[in-house]
Structure formats: C-alpha cells, structure tokens
C-alpha cells in the first residue's frame, strides 16, 4: 500500500484524532507548527515523502514536544523503510520520535501501534511487537474508543495471520538428512512429484490455531468498527481459505454500502487535499467480494463487483492491474507497452474476445477468471508493512498466468550451511499436477514475503514463453470442445471483394455423449468482422436426434471487402445440455486479387469428385463438397481445388501454366514407423511420386482457352495410401509460362490412422 494510503488511514482514524490525553496539548500547538504538519501530510499523500519529511523535521525542531509532529514524522519514516540493514538508521530515528511522543501522551495507543509495526520489520523483534500491541490494547480498552480498539485488534490479528500463512501448508520431511532442493527440481525429471510422494507429507491442520486466533481478533476489531477496512480484508482472506465465500460477501456489505456514494465525497486529510486512499480501500474490498461471488458461481454479480472495483482504483493502478503484459510473452508485453491508450484498449478488447470460451454466454468467463486471480493476489499477498502489492510479487505473477496451485508444500528452514535457499528461510513449492510444472519460492518465516528460489525465475520466464496464460483450471473452458473447420478465400465478383468459405465439422458425437435426452437443440452462430467488433453473420438452431455417433457438417459462404482484416468465430451450443458446446476461431486477411497480378486462392480440401470433366468450373458449380476438417484418413482420397488469377493469355487467347505440388511430412505421430518406405506407396490421378526422404511431388502443365474468365479453376485428386500418420504440408507453385510470373501458397493437413 502506498504511503499516501497509510497517511489517510491513520489521519482518519478516531484513535489518531480524538485521543483524550493529547487534545488539550494539541490545542496549545502554535499555528506555524500545525500548518507545517498539515502541509506535510498533503505532500505525503501526494507521494512526495521527501518534502513531507523535510517539513516534519522543521516542525519537530520548532516544537520538540508537539506529539502530532513527532508522531507523523515517526510514521512517515517508519512507512518508508524496508526490511534491510540500509534502513536501520531511519528505523532507529522513527523509534526515538515515537518513544518521545508516547512519553508525552501515554494515553494514546497510536504510538505503541507504530512502534510495534517497526518491530515487525525485524524478525527477531516480532515478540516485542506483540507485547507493544497488547499494551496498546489495554490503553484502547481503558479509553473506551472503538476506533482505537479496532486498530490495535487488527495489528494483533495480523501477527497471528502471518503465522498462520507461514504454517498453513506446512509439510514434514519423512526422511532424515533430506531437504527439498530448488535447483534439483529443475535439473531432474519428476523430482518434485517424487519428492512430495515419497520423501515428505503434509501436516494436518497446520496453522489452524493461529488462524482461529487471527479471526477472533479481526472480528473483535469489526465489532468495534464494522467498516474497519483493514480488518475486513484480512478476515476475508481467512474466510476464503476455508471456502466461506458467502460470509465474505456479507462481511463486506457495510463498507460497500458506505462507499456506494460518489468518489467526490471521499474523506480528506484536510480541506486542501483529497486523498485517493479511501477509494483504494473500497476497491480492494470490492475486488475481494467479486472473488467470493465468482467462487459461488454468481458470475453476473462478480462482473459487476469487479467493474465497480476497477473504477475505484487510481488510473495507474487500474492500468497496471489489467495490463495484458503480465499474461503475455515478453516480446508481446513490450509491444503492448508501446501502444497508445486507444490502441491498447482495442488490443485488450480483441484479446478478451478471443479468450472468451463462449461469446454466446452472458459473461466473459476468461476475463472473470483473470480478475478473480488478480483479486486473490491482492487479498493474499498485499502487505502494507512490507510495502508489498500482491499482483507485483513473484507469486502474484504465477497466479495471474496459471491460477491457484492445486498443491502447495511449505518446508521449514534448516541450519544446514549447504542448503543455500533453505538456510533460515522457508521453501514453498507450488505444484501443478496436470502439466507437472512447479515453481519454488523462498522467504523469511511468518513475513508473507517470498521470491523465486534458485533458478526458478528463469524457469518462470521459459514457461511464460511457452504458455503465458492458461485456463486449464477453469472447468467451463475445459468443457468447450474444438470445432474443426476449413477456411478458404477466393476472389469475389470483383477485385474489391473476397469470397470467404467456412466449412465445419461440428463434433455432435462428443458434445452429446453424456446427454440423457432423445433430442437436442443445437444453436450455431457465426460471427465475422474486425477483432473486438464481431457481428453475428449467421445464427440458427437445428434439431439433433440422440444418441448420435455422427458429426454435423455445416457450410457458410460470405462476401467481404478485399484486403480487410477479420476474425472468424464459430460457436455451437445446446443450452439445455451440460457440456454441449464447441468453438472455433481464426484471424485472417481477405485476399486482394486483381486481374493483372498472378495470384492463387487458398487451396480447398474437398470430398473426392469422381469425374470433374475436361473444363473445371468454380467449386460451387461442379458439385464439390468442401471438407469440414483438414484431417484425412489413411488410404482415403480427396480433391484439391484452387483458383488461379491474373493469367496472361497469348495471342490465341490461351493460357499456359505449370503446376508443381509438393507434400511434406512435418511431424510424424510417435506411434508411426517405417516412414521412408511408406512415402512411396502413393495413388493419385495425376501421378504423384516420392521425392527424397520426406516429400512427395507432382508436376504437370495446362494449356487451355481463357475465354474471358477472371479466374482459372484447378482440381486434382490425391491419395497418400498407407503413408504414416502425422502432420503434412502441401506446397503449391504455379508458373505462368506466358509471363514467367510465379505464385505460391500452402496448406497443412493431418493424416489420421485408419479406424
């Protein structure tokens, strides 16, 4: 949390402003000192802590017995230090100032609270910090001030909560002289899985006593002040771990209701400076409430809460929190950083449109999952005492990309000097069994601070390049089937238009596999247009007789402007059958084809046409049936269709061109064998033959009358016989013998084993 947030929280706390023991003394403060303090607070809340400290130093020099000046100077010094030896002189000065203030005003617990917070930054002094907080609690009870009581109870609860977080996932080594080695986890295959299975075991109910005591303190704080924001957030974190999501929502209602007013009415430190910290506290609680609603399956409510939360963050925090760079590859993140605001907004919209498992559902489940992850990082890892923001941490980056880890194992520190990262530090392992990926962190005990251990920072970057954002923890996304499609682009009626052909093979056999009805209603929707601006081009519902062991073939043809960049999004969904949904998506540019430049359309794989005739017409005039998938079964034959544009006619009005087709095996299936000998066993109408170790080729020439046509269609039939299963690429090269111009294109397909 920023220093400005702490200034606001402290300045608006009743325990700070209405301490009975200091009221008379504060009234005797000379106006110049009081003015210096007020201006310093305004500087601090604006982020200029250097100027604030300079003003506060002048104030304490001018009035050495002014408790407000002493307190605020000590607080700003304390809150701008980190857990390091470099900041020791600043902490010592802060302690001195706060001790003086406490001697002058012993009935105000605020000095003891801040002194305790300073002790928390030194692990060996945490017991002394708890002692100071207990003294402060006694004073707060004697004063009968609810705000004082809430502040102190929160600090005591935080100590217990840190101990709970450090011990809740504690594992025990079951073999002597063995510790978890982060380096070995990367060097040895299956190291983490085998270590967790064979050399360690979880401790049941670890940390539960600390968790219970922390909850009691936080509830004590909220009994005194129901809208005490720090206690609400801390208690929501504890409830989340126990899946008490409805209690989380109920807990936040008083503060959410209070902060439903306009942001213009936010409290201020003084009349001259509005402090954004009030909105930050509300934003964090709204985010946590959205997380609770999301876990309860109330997606519409979660969406609303997340939207309200984002609106209350500062513009910089909102931009950082939603930045796609954290779930993109490093190069893509750099490019996103270089975009202006308008382009970044369009990129965000296009990304979440593509990530949405089903556009036909009311909410974007992928974006809600991402925001839920960000809410979790804030709820669990944001720590004001260490000036840590959850989504900026190492652990927060992994949560954003891959979600909460299914397995968490925390191992205690060791005194073995050879243990590297484990000496005096806890080792925390996050294990994702589905992909058998682990990330290892290390940090001081009971501090809620952790960093990548060993070489895991580099490993995390490698994983980011391979898989920057996964939704494999989202059951809804996993339930969405992939719809095989084949997309082909041809010239339209003029050079200004392109014809788009979309053939689909909807896997109704899989989608309805678990259906217990005899008839389904499958809604199909085809959306076309620029990314983030899709329009529904086709929408219809078909009846499906069940059970079915067949796929459903569909074909759509649209005319679009040539040269335009478009996104194709196909969805099929039966709202009445759980899991009966599928999708396909592609981004492409429509062809720009004039009559003067030699060019080729996309190749279209189609069902075999037995007798195409001497003169081939366009695909829709010769009875060609496009395949809804580019999967070909071994020994099957298929037709390959394309159109040539811009052919140069000779004086007799004829076109002469050469066609060369090469089929290359790009990736063989692991179970295939004998690749070299099988490549020669080919059957094809035009005589395809083996060329080299991994290629098959065919070459032929055409000589025909152009006859005023704006295109020259071509059709051949291929069959790969018993060639091995795997991924193949067809390369097509057309050479115009009259103009000597050359045009190329290619298409991939997959050869499957015979049933």
* pLDDT tens by residue, 165-218: 988 999 999 988 888 999 999 999 899 999 999 999 999 999 999 999 999 999
Start-end of CATH 2.60.40.150 domains in the chain: 480-593
Question: What pLDDT is recorded for position 90?
Answer: 85
Q: Answer yes or no: is pLDDT of 416 > 70.
A: no
Q: Answer yes or no: is pLDDT of 415 > 60.
A: yes
* pLDDT tens by residue, 314-349: 999 999 999 999 999 999 999 998 999 999 999 999
Q: Which residues of 22-50 are buried (b: 16+ CB within 10 A; e: fewer)?
A: beeeeeebeeebbebbbbbbbbbbbebbe
Average pLDDT, integer, range 387-412: 94
Q: Answer yes or no: is pLDDT of 643 > 80.
A: yes
Start-end of CATH 2.60.40.3880 domains in the chain: 594-755
DSSP 609: -
Q: Are 194 and 436 in contact (CB under 8 A)?
A: no
Start-end of CATH 1.25.40.10 domains in the chain: 1-144
Q: What is the 3-state secondary structure (H, E, C) of 251-270?
A: HHHHHHHHCCCCHHHCCEEE
Residue matched to tokens 């067949």: 550
Q: Answer yes or no: is pLDDT of 701 > 70.
A: yes
Q: What is the mean pLDDT of the chain?
A: 86
- What is the distance between the alpha carbons of residues 697 and 663, in angstroms, rounded to a whole number? 6
Q: Provide the CATH number for the domain formed by 480-593 in this structure.
A: 2.60.40.150
Q: Which residues contact 86 (CB under 8 A, 6 or more apart)?
A: none
Architecture field, domain 1-144? Alpha Horseshoe (1.25)
Which of 14-28, 442-456, 462-476 has maximum average pLDDT? 462-476
Q: How confident is the model at residue 387 (pLDDT cuts 50, 70, 90)?
A: confident
Percent of the chain with pLDDT over 90: 62
Average pLDDT, integer, range 233-256: 94
SS3 content of the chain, % helix, strand, coil (to 5): 45, 25, 35
Which of 232-241, 338-347, 673-682 has maximum average pLDDT? 232-241
Q: Which residues contact 714 (CB under 8 A, 6 or more apart)?
A: 616, 641, 642, 643, 644, 659, 702
Q: Provide the CATH number for the domain formed by 594-755 in this structure.
A: 2.60.40.3880
* pLDDT tens by residue, 720-731: 887 888 899 999
Question: What pLDDT is recorded for position 28?
Answer: 45
Question: What pLDDT is recorded for position 556?
Answer: 98
Average pLDDT, integer, range 393-414: 94
* pLDDT tens by residue, 63-94: 999 999 999 998 998 888 776 667 788 888 98
Average pLDDT, integer, range 488-503: 94
Percent of the chain with pLDDT over 70: 87
Question: What pLDDT is recorded for position 11?
Answer: 47
């Amino acid at each position: 949390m920023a220093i400005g947030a702490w200034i606001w929280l402290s300045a608006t706390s009743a325990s700070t402003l209405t301490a009975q023991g200091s009221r008379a003394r504060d009234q005797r403060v000379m106006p110049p000192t009081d003015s210096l303090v007020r201006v310093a607070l305004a500087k601090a809340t604006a982020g200029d802590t250097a100027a604030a400290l300079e003003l506060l130093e002048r104030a304490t020099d001018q009035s050495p017995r002014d408790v407000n000046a002493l307190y605020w100077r000590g607080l700003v010094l304390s809150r701008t230090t980190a857990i390091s030896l470099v900041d020791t002189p600043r902490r010592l000065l802060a302690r001195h100032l706060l001790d003086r203030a406490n001697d002058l005003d012993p009935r105000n617990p605020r000095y003891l609270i801040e002194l305790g917070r300073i002790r928390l930054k030194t692990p060996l002094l945490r017991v002394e910090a708890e002692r100071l907080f207990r003294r402060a609690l006694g004073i707060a009870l004697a004063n009968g001030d609810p705000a004082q009581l809430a502040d102190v109870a929160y600090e005591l609860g935080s100590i217990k909560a840190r101990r709970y977080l450090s011990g809740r996932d504690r594992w025990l080594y079951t073999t002597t002289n063995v510790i978890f080695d982060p380096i070995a986890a990367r060097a040895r295959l299956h190291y983490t899985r085998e270590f967790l299975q064979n050399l360690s075991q979880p401790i049941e109910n670890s940390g539960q006593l600390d968790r219970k005591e922390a909850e009691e303190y936080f509830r004590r704080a909220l009994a005194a002040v129901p809208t005490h924001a720090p206690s609400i957030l801390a208690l929501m974190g504890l409830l989340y771990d126990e899946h008490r999501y409805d209690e989380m929502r109920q807990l936040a209602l008083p503060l959410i209701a209070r902060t439903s007013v306009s942001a213009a009415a936010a409290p201020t430190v003084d009349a001259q400076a509005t402090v954004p910290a009030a909105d930050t506290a509300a934003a964090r609680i709204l985010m946590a409430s959205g997380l609770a609603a999301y876990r309860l399956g109330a997606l519409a409510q979660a969406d609303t809460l997340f939207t309200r939360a984002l609106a209350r963050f500062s513009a910089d925090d909102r931009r950082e929190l939603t930045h796609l760079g954290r779930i993109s590859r490093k190069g893509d993140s750099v490019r996103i950083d270089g975009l202006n605001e308008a382009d970044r907004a369009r990129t965000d919209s296009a990304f979440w449109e593509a990530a949405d498992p089903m556009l036909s559902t009311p909410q974007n489940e992928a974006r809600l999952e991402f925001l839920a992850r960000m809410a979790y990082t804030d709820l669990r890892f944001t720590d004001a005492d260490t000036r840590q923001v959850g989504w900026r941490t190492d652990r927060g980056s992994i949560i954003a990309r891959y979600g909460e880890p299914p397995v968490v194992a925390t191992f205690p520190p060791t005194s073995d000097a050879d243990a590297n990262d484990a000496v005096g530090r806890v080792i925390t392992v996050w294990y994702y069994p589905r992909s058998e990926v682990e990330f290892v962190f290390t940090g001081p005990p009971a501090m809620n601070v952790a960093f990548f251990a060993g070489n895991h920072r580099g490993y995390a970057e490698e994983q980011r390049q391979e898989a920057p954002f996964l939704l494999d923890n989202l059951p809804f996304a996993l339930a969405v089937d992939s719809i095989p499609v084949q997309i082909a682009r041809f010239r339209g009626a003029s050079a200004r238009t392109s014809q788009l052909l979309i053939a689909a093979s909807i896997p109704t056999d899989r989608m309805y596999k678990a259906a217990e009805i005899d008839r389904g209603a499958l809604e199909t929707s085809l959306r076309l247009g620029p990314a983030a601006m899709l329009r529904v081009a086709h929408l219809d519902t078909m009846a499906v007789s069940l059970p079915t062991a067949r796929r459903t073939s569909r074909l759509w043809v649209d005319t679009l402007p040539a040269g335009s960049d478009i996104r194709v999004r196909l969805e099929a969904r039966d709202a009445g059958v759980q899991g009966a949904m599928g999708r396909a998506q592609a981004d492409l540019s429509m062809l720009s084809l004039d009559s003067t430049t030699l060019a080729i359309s996309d190749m279209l794989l189609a069902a075999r046409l037995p007798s195409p005739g001497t003169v081939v017409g366009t695909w829709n005039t010769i009875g060609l049936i496009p395949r809804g998938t580019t999967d070909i079964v071994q020994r099957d034959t298929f037709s390959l269709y394309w159109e040539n544009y811009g052919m140069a006619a000779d004086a007799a009005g004829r076109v002469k061109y050469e066609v060369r087709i090469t089929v290359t095996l790009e990736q063989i299936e692991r179970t295939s064998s004998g690749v070299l000998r099988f490549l020669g066993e080919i059957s094809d109408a035009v005589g395809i033959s083996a060329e080299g170790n991994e290629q098959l080729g065919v070459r032929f020439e055409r000589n025909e009358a152009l006859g005023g046509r704006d295109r020259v269609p071509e059709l051949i039939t291929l069959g790969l016989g018993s060639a091995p299963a795997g991924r193949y690429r067809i390369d097509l090269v057309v050479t115009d013998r009259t103009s000597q111009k050359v045009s190329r294109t290619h298409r991939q397909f997959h050869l499957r084993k015979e049933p």
